[in-house]
């Protein structure tokens, strides 16, 4: 702590502290300060008297006669000020006299009562000055008490402005002292920083406020007699600077105190919610009430406001995302959500947006409203509906970072799965009630095949399989490679006289480039090409299959499907294209773009083998013989859609890949 110009030496500090002998009496300082505020705001209209919303701007409704001892103390201070200041007495001596009068009171009560006494004197002066031109009684009093004020009222305005600045600073420091002395001990200790640091200077700040009251009262006496001087104006300015510095110091400490209190309150609320959600409930209503706190309403699918009890004893999916949730994701989830009716399932979805409230602006509001309008399920009515402690729980316990998750609650509010989106993408409504146990049973019962991956996306697949055609799914964003690969592959199929269908499935997180390439593929009639939603769903489904396997403890060593999925994702993360060839008999072969293109272009080297073994067996054998002495393979996975695999094999050479962190901002 640097030595501020308002600080005292040890001897002076001890002298001030020695006057402080509180006897436990209680003064409602907020009520006294409220009345004081309403006096001062009539004199100084721009004075800042709000106190964290606890003191409003309404007219006085406070009966100070009920405030213990406040009237007597106030009267004594007023008399002391009127007597000593009118005689031009020593300001320090008067200040210490007032300290002794207030020895039984808390530090907060001392400054508030002193400021209130000043407001009484200042208010009397100002009331007569304002009314003397229109009220005969006030005019007569002004002539007796303030003979020069009528003649010099305009000249006094400049001096009054300097006084106003000091009064503003006095009020600011008084508010800080009151707030610091009334902070809840439940959440912050007076013996520990930052409150202990602030309280170490409370006595000094109190001295300067009472001293300022004395100086300001003396200045008002000067105004009455019109005996102001340049030195007095300088004194006001110097004191205002000193008191403002004290306010800056106390305000910074007060800010740290409120941060500490907010942290404690947040942790308390977090633990309460944690206990609630982990305790068996009769229904889900208490969980939902804890999520929304004081907010009791939602917007239903028709955008009408409804109470949250409409979801009581229903299966509920909490769709948690930020404002970057994709429209493809919403549309695909909407298909599953609408199908629940025909499937006879009774569950609802609530969108819980999680974002940084401190950076909220009109742009975010517009984005929030747009997302609300395209969602066909329940949404929050406004962006701050979710309790901060619940957001903390969502991040720390359910692992939400950025990629959307869906937490399932049964009718009793029990969490069935911390993220049901994976199984919803893979199995749809057949996985209801979207529990971890249901996911495990599906994983064991149903084989994971290419049909499961593309069956819902490519309606022509059953027909092509029945016609014994070879189906090629390929991806990438290099148009030159796509043209070369599709042309060479069709040439091989013609040479072997086999039917082949090729389908372009794009690339993950490259929507604009994929749209352009899809348009060119269709224009040049190179192959089939999926639309945006199917492209998104294909890659999201691959990730979901990987995470589902990982969550159930499957490693690449003991799960062939997981190996295949990771290989596909690895292909997409690289810069080159890739291709998978498939037949209805279950035969399948895959390769990266460079290998498969060079193999197709050198078809004359394995044409004879293909006619003997068949297209896919021969292609596999040929690809196995193509050795790339250098390759660069990447695998990029979102960081919060489930536990990421600890070990990943290279799709090309099978060696373990090195783990690095990649922070990506843009989807493109």
Q: Are 313 and 427 in the same domain?
A: yes
Rounded CA gap, 602 and 610, in Å? 12
What are the pLDDT digits (tens) for 120-170?
988 887 777 777 767 777 777 766 665 555 455 555 566 777 788 899 999
Indicate whether 464 belongs to any domain.
Answer: yes
Q: Measure CA 593 to chain center.
A: 42
Q: What is the CATH number of the domain that holds 395?
A: 3.40.30.10
Q: Are 30 and 154 in the same domain?
A: yes
Q: Are 431 and 475 in the same domain?
A: no
Q: Are 437 and 454 in the same domain?
A: no
What are the pLDDT digits (tens) for 574-618?
777 899 998 877 788 888 888 999 999 999 999 999 999 899 999
Q: Are 298 and 439 in the same domain?
A: yes
Query: Is 80 exceeded by the pLDDT of residue 549?
Result: no
Q: Are 115 and 168 in the same domain?
A: yes
CA atoms within 13 A on the CB side of 546: 29
- Looking at 213, 235, 266, the residue that finishes a domain is 266
Indicate whether 667 belongs to any domain.
Answer: no
Indicate whether 511 belongs to any domain.
Answer: yes
Q: Which pTM does this prediction carry?
A: 0.77
Domain count, the chain: 3
The per-residue pLDDT for 564 is: 74
Indicate whether 407 belongs to any domain.
Answer: yes
Indicate whether 272 belongs to any domain.
Answer: no
Q: Are 423 and 327 in the same domain?
A: yes
Indicate whether 38 belongs to any domain.
Answer: yes
What are the pLDDT digits (tens) for 190-233?
888 899 888 888 999 999 999 999 988 887 776 655 455 566 66
- Looking at 398, 419, 445, the residue that finishes a domain is 445
Full strand arrangement of the beta sheet holding 378-380: 305-307, 297-299, 378-380, 347-353, 315-321, 405-409, 415-417
Cβ neighbourhood burial of 657 (10 Å; 0-12, 13-18, 19+): middle
Indicate whether 520 belongs to any domain.
Answer: yes
- Looking at 415, 445, 475, the residue that finishes a domain is 445
Q: Give whole-number Cα distances, 425 to 330, 416, 538, in Å.
A: 12, 17, 9
Q: Are 100 and 162 in the same domain?
A: yes
The per-residue pLDDT for 122 is: 85
Q: Which domain holds residue 170?
A: 10-51+65-266
**Helical pair 230-278 and 202-225, crossing angle rounded to 10 deg:** 140
Query: Is 80 exceeded by the pLDDT of residue 405?
Result: yes
Cβ neighbourhood burial of 403 (10 Å; 0-12, 13-18, 19+): buried
Indicate whether 522 belongs to any domain.
Answer: yes
């Amino acid at each position: 702590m640097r030595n501020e110009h308002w600080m005292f030496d040890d001897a002076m500090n001890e002298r001030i502290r020695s006057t402080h002998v509180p006897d436990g009496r209680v003064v409602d300082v907020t009520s006294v300060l409220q009345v004081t505020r309403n006096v001062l705001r009539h004199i100084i209209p721009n004075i800042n008297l709000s106190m964290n919303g606890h003191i409003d701007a309404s007219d006085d409704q406070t009966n100070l006669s009920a405030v213990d001892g406040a009237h007597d103390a106030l009267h004594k201070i007023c008399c002391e000020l009127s007597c000593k200041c009118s005689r031009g007495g020593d300001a320090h001596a008067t200040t210490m006299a007032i300290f002794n009068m207030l020895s039984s009171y808390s530090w907060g009560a001392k400054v508030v009562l002193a400021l209130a006494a000043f407001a009484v004197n200042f208010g009397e002066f100002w009331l007569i000055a304002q009314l003397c031109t229109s009220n005969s009684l006030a005019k007569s009093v002004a002539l007796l008490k303030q003979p020069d004020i009528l003649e010099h009222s305009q000249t006094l305005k400049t001096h009054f402005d300097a006084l106003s600045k000091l009064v503003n600073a006095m009020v600011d420091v008084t508010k800080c002292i009151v707030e610091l002395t009334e902070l809840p001990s439940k959440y912050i200790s007076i013996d520990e920083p930052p409150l202990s640091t602030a309280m170490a200077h409370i006595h000094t700040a109190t001295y300067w406020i009472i001293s300022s009251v004395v100086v300001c009262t003396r200045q008002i006496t000067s105004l009455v007699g019109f005996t102001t001087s340049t030195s007095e104006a300088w004194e006001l300015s110097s004191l205002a600077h000193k008191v403002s510095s004290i306010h800056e110091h106390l305000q910074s400490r007060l800010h740290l105190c409120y941060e500490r209190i907010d942290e404690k309150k947040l942790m308390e609320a977090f633990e309460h919610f944690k206990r609630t959600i982990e305790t068996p409930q009769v229904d889900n209503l208490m969980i939902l009430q804890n999520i929304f706190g004081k907010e009791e309403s939602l917007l239903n699918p028709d955008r009408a406001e409804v109470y949250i009890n409409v979801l009581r004893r229903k299966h509920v999916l909490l769709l948690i995302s930020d404002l970057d949730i994709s429209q493809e994701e919403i549309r695909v989830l909407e298909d599953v959500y609408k199908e629940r009716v025909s499937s006879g399932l009774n569950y609802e979805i609530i969108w819980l947006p999680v974002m940084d409230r401190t950076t909220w602006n009109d742009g975010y509001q517009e984005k929030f409203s747009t997302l609300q309008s395209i969602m066909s399920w329940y949404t929050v009515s406004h962006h701050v509906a979710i309790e901060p402690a619940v957001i903390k729980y969502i991040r720390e316990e359910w692992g939400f970072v950025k990629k959307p998750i869906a937490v399932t609650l049964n009718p009793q509010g029990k969490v069935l799965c911390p993220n049901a989106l994976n199984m919803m993408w893979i199995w749809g409504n057949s996985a209801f009630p979207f529990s971890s146990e249901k996911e495990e049973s599906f994983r064991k019962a149903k084989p994971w095949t290419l049909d499961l991956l593309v069956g819902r996306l490519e309606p022509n697949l059953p027909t092509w399989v029945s016609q014994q055609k070879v189906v090629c799914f390929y991806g990438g964003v290099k148009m030159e490679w796509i043209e070369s690969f599709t042309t060479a592959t069709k040439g091989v199929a013609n040479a072997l006289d086999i039917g082949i269908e090729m389908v372009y499935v794009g690339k993950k997180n490259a929507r604009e480039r994929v749209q352009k390439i899809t348009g060119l593929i269709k224009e040049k009639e190179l192959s089939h090409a999926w639309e945006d939603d199917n492209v998104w769903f294909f890659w999201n489904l691959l990730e979901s299959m990987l995470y589902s396997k990982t969550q159930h403890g499957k490693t690449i060593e003991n799960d062939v499907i997981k190996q295949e999925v990771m290989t596909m994702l690895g292909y997409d993360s690289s810069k080159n294209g890739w291709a998978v060839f498939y037949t209805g008999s279950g035969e399948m072969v895959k390769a990266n773009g460079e290998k498969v293109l060079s193999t197709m272009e050198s078809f004359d080297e394995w044409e004879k083998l293909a006619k003997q073994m068949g297209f896919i067996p021969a292609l596999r054998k040929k690809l196995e013989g193509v050795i790339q002495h250098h390759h660069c393979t990447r695998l990029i996975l979102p960081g919060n859609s489930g536990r990421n695999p600890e070990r990943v094999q290279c799709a090309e050479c099978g060696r373990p890949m090195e783990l690095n962190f990649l922070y990506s901002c843009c989807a493109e």
